[in-house]
A and B are shown apart, each in its own frame.
Chain A
Amino acid sequence: MGATPEHHTGGEDPNRRDFIHIAATVAAVGAVGGLAWPFIDQMNPAADTLALASVEFDLSKVELGQQVVIKWRGKPLFIRHRTGKEIAAAIKDDNAALRDPQTDEERHKAGKAEWLVLIGTCTHLGCVPTFGGGDFGGWFCPCHGSHYDTSGRIRKGPAPKNLAVPEYTFLSDSKVKVG
């Protein structure tokens, strides 16, 4: 009690040495981290890949009840001209127990319920689902049996998410631009 701890003063101050060690370690880690980044980032999409042009598509080519598959950014893109029956089925299920809840309204452009534009890769492991199969009248993925409804929402099987809707705009009534 009251006794002050004896300071070991012979030689260098331990605190100062610790500081130098810590500072050197931090600098080394920072330098390695900084040098590593270019080697990591080179794996990310290159500028020309990112610059991949968007595609324009003429909808008048797709008849009612048909689907056209085009390639966009290396992936299939489904452009589907939905029938009234399909749209009705999709709306009817808006309140069903959905794994990835979304109303049909949210999956197409306002007032364009007949056009569904989807990225055609199964959200499970990336196979290309086929239309007209499965229990919900929409898409069926043959790989591990994911069922999507007429809105492209996941209803059954291992896939966790609805078929993705890419960014697109209507240039005119019969023309869309994707990307």
Chain B
Amino acid sequence: MSGHSNYEPKSGFEKWLDVRLPIIRFGHDTIVDFPTPKNLNYWYTFGGILALCLGIQIVTGIILAMHYVAHVKFAFDSVEHIMRDVNYGWLIRYVHANGASMFFLAVYVHMFRGLYYGSYKAPREVLWLLGCVIYLLMIITAFMGYVLPWGQMSFHGAVVITNLIGAIPVIGQSITTWLWGGFAVDNPTLNRFFSLHYLLPFMIAGVVALHIWALHVPGNNNPTGVDVKSKEDTVPFHPYYTVKDGFAISVFLLMFAAFVFFNPNALGDAVNYVPANPLVTPAHIVPEWYLLPFYAILRAVPDKLMGVIFMGGAIAMLFLLPWLDTSKVRSMRYRPTARLYFFIFVVVTLVLGYCGGQLPDNKIIPGLTTFQVIDADLNSVVWLSRMATAYYFAYFLIILPVLGLTETPLPQPESISEPVLSHPANAPAGAAASPEKRG
């Protein structure tokens, strides 16, 4: 995209169009002839997987909207109508519902990859911020979509989440009423959620375009975190990464299909097959798996407003990350201490996810009744969440800023190609000598 273009319009039509709207040139420079670091591993294929996920969600979503009725009296039944009566409705709905999970699974891998290889560091801060915006929009979209079937979990999930806003001092209650369009979550709420659930994916697509634009200006980061030095360090995107991404996408789709065809409700909650009833709360309200860590953080704090602030803060940390990490070295391959803390961080987010799905008073180790320290039973999910929450914030606010200043990184290679070419097995002489000896 930046720099000169190698595109040569061939047909008459391409030449004609190129002077008027150079869109084919743009596509060629962006996804065919784009120089890409040659050492990208499979963690980097999730960008392509995510684009596919967004496409699948939009297509299946548009179709579902043709059959769905956004009214409290008909919403639940219209979903059942899709499942039973609409031709292939079951398939399209299961693809859409499981697609949301797959989308989040891929985005989390994509984000952890960015965290590990320092993809958020200069000059890619805007790229990272746009990614955070996409993630935030995804959360809002997924939440609103989850409300639409108007089951028990949908309804009470909506009640709980919208009530979070009521924690804002003074104006909170008016804002909640404004969001509801009534005195409670009701038909006006369902209607506007449907409208926004349809709109937001297109906004996501818009930000994705910006995200890709911001990626193509500095170019991809890579596992070494070392900048591209020469043409030697890159290969054209096509065919090298189109094929690699294509393979990864195929494997990903196999897993996706396994869920859709063999266990389509594994990631959903059975309680959502009970029609919404505002007078009875399910015994245990849980969000979808991909929001459990934030839910655990919310519950870890015994105060409503503070809980909301911490939950929001957990996402805000991501936005601040480029300025919190003070290290000059991008990739954690060369930051052994940071790497250790990073893996603890990954485990801690998984622990938070586990806690979010449990009742707060559940025991962690069932055999042990209590592990009393002063006033606290440390053998309870709520205390585990508290400790994990503390680490989550410490990682961003203490560990990364301090570590960047104190740790001694390992020596980084001169260039992307260097570690490959200097490796004895890959040395030119050896390479020339071995082919005929092999086998």
A interface residues, Cβ below 8 angstroms from B: 40, 43-46, 49, 52, 69, 71, 73-76, 120-121, 124-128, 141-145, 157-160
Complex partner residue of B281 from A71, A73, A142, A159, CB under 8 angstroms: A142
Q: Is the CB of B160 within 8 A of A126?
A: yes
Give the Cβ gap from A57 to chain B, nearest Cβ, in Å. Answer: 15
**In chain B between 174 and 195, which residues have their CB closer than 8 angstroms to a CB of chain A?**
177-186, 188, 192
Complex CA–CA separation, A74 to B276 (angstroms): 12
Q: Is the CB of B299 within 8 A of A144?
A: yes
Interface: B307 (CB within 8 A): yes
Residues on A with C-beta less than 8 A from B284 are 142
Interface: B164 (CB within 8 A): yes
Q: Is the CB of A43 within 8 A of B179?
A: yes
Interface: B280 (CB within 8 A): yes
Contact A125:B279 (CB < 8 A) given known A45-B182, A73-B183, A74-B183: no
Residues on A with C-beta less than 8 A from B160 are 125-127, 143
Complex CA–CA separation, A127 to B299 (angstroms): 14
Give the Cβ gap from A154 to chain B, nearest Cβ, in Å. Answer: 11
Give the Cβ gap from B144 to chain A, nearest Cβ, in Å. Answer: 14
Complex CA–CA separation, A126 to B179 (angstroms): 15
Report the interface size for chain B: residues with CB under 8 A from the other chain. 36
Complex CA–CA separation, A124 to B299 (angstroms): 11
Contact A49:B285 (CB < 8 A) given known A128-B280, A158-B302: no
Q: Is the CB of B184 within 8 A of A128?
A: no
Q: Is the CB of B181 within 8 A of A160?
A: no
**In chain B between 353 and 380, which residues have their CB closer than 8 angstroms to a CB of chain A?**
360-361
Q: Is the CB of A74 within 8 A of B186?
A: yes
Number of A-B pairs, beta carbon distance below 8 Å: 87
**In chain B between 134 and 184, which residues have their CB closer than 8 angstroms to a CB of chain A?**
156, 159-164, 167, 177-184
Q: Is the CB of A45 within 8 A of B177?
A: yes
Q: A43-B181, A74-B278, A158-B307 are in contact. List 15 more A-B contacts (CB 8 A).
A: A46-B188, A49-B182, A69-B279, A74-B183, A75-B278, A124-B304, A125-B159, A125-B164, A128-B281, A142-B281, A142-B284, A144-B360, A158-B301, A158-B304, A160-B167
Q: Is the CB of A128 within 8 A of B285?
A: no
Residues on B with C-beta less than 8 A from A126 are 156, 159-160, 162-163
Residues on A with C-beta less than 8 A from B161 are 125
Closest 3 CB pairs of A and B: A74-B184, A73-B183, A126-B163
Q: Is the CB of A44 within 8 A of B279?
A: no
Contact A142:B283 (CB < 8 A) given known A126-B159, A158-B302: yes
Contact A127:B182 (CB < 8 A) given known A76-B279, A159-B304: no
Complex CA–CA separation, A120 to B164 (angstroms): 17
Q: Is the CB of A43 within 8 A of B307?
A: no
Interface: B303 (CB within 8 A): yes
Complex CA–CA separation, A142 to B192 (angstroms): 29
Output the nearest chain A residue to B279 by Cβ-Cβ distance. A76
Residues on A with C-beta less than 8 A from B299 are 144, 158
Output the nearest chain B residue to A124 by Cβ-Cβ distance. B304
Complex CA–CA separation, A116 to B159 (angstroms): 24
Residues on B with C-beta less than 8 A from A76 are 278-279
Output the nearest chain B residue to A41 by Cβ-Cβ distance. B178
Q: Is the CB of B181 within 8 A of A71?
A: no
Residues on B with C-beta less than 8 A from A121 are 159, 184
Output the nearest chain A residue to B189 by Cβ-Cβ distance. A74
Residues on A with C-beta less than 8 A from B162 are 126
What are 28 A-B residue pairs whose CB atoms fall within 8 Å in the complex? A40-B178, A43-B179, A43-B181, A43-B192, A44-B178, A44-B181, A45-B188, A49-B181, A49-B182, A49-B183, A49-B186, A71-B278, A71-B279, A73-B183, A76-B278, A121-B184, A125-B159, A126-B156, A126-B160, A126-B162, A126-B163, A127-B160, A127-B281, A128-B279, A143-B281, A144-B360, A157-B302, A160-B304
Residues on B with C-beta less than 8 A from A125 are 159-161, 163-164, 304
Complex CA–CA separation, A157 to B302 (angstroms): 7
Residues on B with C-beta less than 8 A from A120 are 279
Output the nearest chain B residue to A141 by Cβ-Cβ distance. B281
